[in-house]
Chains A and B, each alone.
Chain A
Amino acid sequence: MEEIFKKDRNSLSDEEIVYCVLKGHVDYFEVIYNRYAKKIYQKCLTFTKNKSESEDLLQEILIKIFTNLYSFRNKSSFNTWVYSIAHFHCINYLKHNKTKFQKNTLSIEDVLYIESEKTEQAEGDDDNDKFLFNLSVEELKKVLDLLPVEDKAILLLKYQDGLKINEICEVLELGESAVKMRIKRAKEKARILAQKVQENPNFHISYAK
């Protein structure tokens, strides 16, 4: 019996657990479940705000992770690979249920309005960070709800999943400057929306028909 199977499975790294599962010890997948399920579920909740849908999404994501384990090649960290699968699964779910989540999407006109306003109000990136992290949980929930999906998703990769810039580059298959620019713009939009939410807690976007 290999040395690795004599160790306490909870002390093994993610990559070692993957090795064990791929060696046919499928029950080791429970460790992956225990390490990631709660975080993925909370990510799904941020997107759907619905417990039952989030549980369905979580189940699908974990089975997808399991069925694709053999394709994990250690090119990126397992952590990045897992969040990448969760990220795209949630985005696809939202795209396929567009009508249901349409209320969460800003219209082009709204975005342009924000962009034009941004030029007057723009602050440094550090100021946007401070502002974002000083929001209350309820304010942040509302801001994320108002943000376009792509902006919300990239902020979640960075701040909720804790991925580094180079890891987000791997997930989104974009260059470093493009990722940094997207995060910066998302934070600027979030800041402007947060100011509106703080001025008026009932603030909502009026949609173009």
Chain B
Amino acid sequence: MQNNSSNNTNIFHRLYKDEEPSEEVKEKVMDVVKSSKTIFDLFELFSHKYFSSLIQLIVNTKKNKDNGKNNH
């Protein structure tokens, strides 16, 4: 058995410690976030109730656009 007791770092934190998501994920997430700015301004005026559905609409539209690009 390999003894790691000398290493004080929580072993669960060492499982994938060198793995990081690509910058592309950040770009995609922030793209959706920034696209929602107008909706954010609108929902200040109306209600939070429809916010999730509207953001989901943006996500779906972007996915469809990406799929369209990939198909060409």
A, B: real partners = yes
A54–B16 Cα distance when bound, in Å, is 12
A33 interface neighbour in B16, B30, B41, Cβ under 8 Å: B30
**Could you tell me which residues of chain A, from 133 to 166, have a CB within 8 Å of some CB in chain B?**
133-137, 139-141, 144, 155-156, 159-160, 162
Interface size class of A (residues with CB under 8 A): 35 or more
- A59's partner among B12, B20, B28, B51 (CB-CB below 8 A) is B28
Q: Are B52's CB and A68's CB within 8 A?
A: yes
Name, among A45, A66, A71, A130, the residue most crowded by chain B CB atoms within 10 Å (CB to CB).
Answer: A66
Does B10 lie at the interface of the complex (its beta carbon under 8 Å from any beta carbon of A)?
A: yes
Identity of the chain B residue whose Cβ is nearest the Cβ of A22 in the assembled complex: B40
What mask results when residues 198 to 209 of chain A are scored 1 for a CB within 8 Å of chain B, else 0? 100000000000
List residues of B whose CB falls within 8 A of some A CB: 1-5, 10-17, 19-22, 24-26, 28-30, 32-34, 36-37, 40-41, 44, 48, 51-52, 55-56, 59
Q: Are B28 and A46 within 8 A (Cβ)?
A: no
Q: Does residue A108 face the partner (Cβ distance < 8 Å to B)?
A: no
CB closest chain-B residue, reference A68 = B52
What 5 new A-B contacts, CB under 8 Å, besides A33-B26, A42-B17, A133-B10? A27-B30, A29-B29, A30-B30, A67-B52, A140-B12
Given the interface pairs A24-B40, A68-B52, A70-B48, the reply to whether A42 lies near B25 with Cβ below 8 Å is no
A-B contacts at CB below 8 angstroms, number? 107
Write the chain A residue with the least CB distance to B13.
A160
- The answer to whether B1 and A160 have CB atoms under 8 Å apart is no
Helix, strand, loop or mixed for chain B's interface?
A: helix
| Residue pair A139, B15 in contact (C-beta under 8 Å) | no
Partner of B1, one of A55, A68, A134, A155: A134
Q: How far is the CA of A70 from the CA of B50 in the complex (A)?
A: 11
User: Which A residues touch B24, using CB under 8 A?
Assistant: 55
CB < 8 Å neighbour of A58 from B21, B36, B52: B21
Is B48 in contact with A63, judged by CB distance below 8 angstroms?
A: no
A51 contacts the other chain (CB 8 A) = yes
Q: A133-B5, A137-B14 given as contacts; is B52 within 8 A of A41 (CB)?
A: no
With A132-B11, A156-B12, A160-B12 as contacts: A67 and B2 at CB distance below 8 Å: no
For the complex, what is the distance from the CA of A33 to the CA of B29, rounded to whole Å? 9
